[in-house]
Amino acid sequence: MKTLESIGKHILKLYTLWTIFGSLYYLMECMWRGYSHWSMYILGGVCGILLDLENEYLSWDTPLWKQMVIGCCIITTLEYITGSILINCFGLVVWDYSHLPFNINGIICLPYCILWFSLSSVGIILGDYLRYWIFNEEKPRYKLF
């Protein structure tokens, strides 16, 4: 029975983080572009969970900048996968970066990759503090370099 309880807590934690990150991503995009698409809610939630799971595998001694590089790669990869699926499977062009420099198929580009690097720090720190505040986990601590 204890295992079932721990599985339930884990599912609740993932759902909570997905909901919060999905909502924030959607709202952030609405503020940035003036609109968003429901798929960005899903993408934001998945990105947030994966950013948060970084700390399951990395120690608190891992410099934040390294976590941000990993976070940038996670977000950029998920943006490419999501964009490719939306375009190729559903014919939806939710975003188009073809006018921006160093883009790949108009789905990802260097300027947004740099933005994801910066914003990943917010996601990493927010995820850690949400786990601390809501789920009484270890208090976050960071090492910049």
* Burial class of 45 by CB neighbour count within 10 A (0 to 12, 13 to 18, 19+): buried
Task: Specify if 77 maps to a domain.
Answer: yes
Q: Tokens for 123, please give them.
A: 């996601």
Structure confidence at residue 35 (pLDDT): 94
- The percentage of residues in the chain with a pLDDT greater than 90, rounded to a whole number, is 86
**145: in domain:** no
Quick one: which of 76, 90, 75 has its CA closest to 37? 90
Q: Which domain holds residue 103?
A: 2-135
Residue 9: the pLDDT is 87
The total domain count for the chain is 1
Q: Is residue 75 part of a domain?
A: yes
Rounded Cα–Cα distance for residues 101 and 90 (Å) = 26
pLDDT tens for 57-92 read 898 999 999 999 999 999 999 999 999 999 999 999
In sequence order, what are the residues at sequence separation of 6 or more whose Cβ sits closer than 8 angstroms to the Cβ of residue 54? 67, 70, 71, 74, 124
Would you say residue 23 lies in a domain? yes
Cα separation, 130 vs 54, whole angstroms? 14
Query: How far is CA 86 from each of CA 54, 80, 93, 101, 108, rounded to the nearest angstrom?
Result: 26, 10, 7, 22, 13
Predicted structure pTM score? 0.90
- Identify whether 127 is part of a domain: yes
The answer to whether position 144 is within a domain reads no
Query: Could you give phi then psi for residue 119, rounded to 5 degrees?
Result: -70, -20
Q: Is residue 16 part of a domain?
A: yes
Residues, the chain: 145
pLDDT tens digits, 93-136: 999 999 999 999 999 999 999 999 999 999 999 999 999 999 99
pLDDT band at 137 (very low <50, low <70, confident <90, very high): very high
Q: Is 140 among the domain residues?
A: no
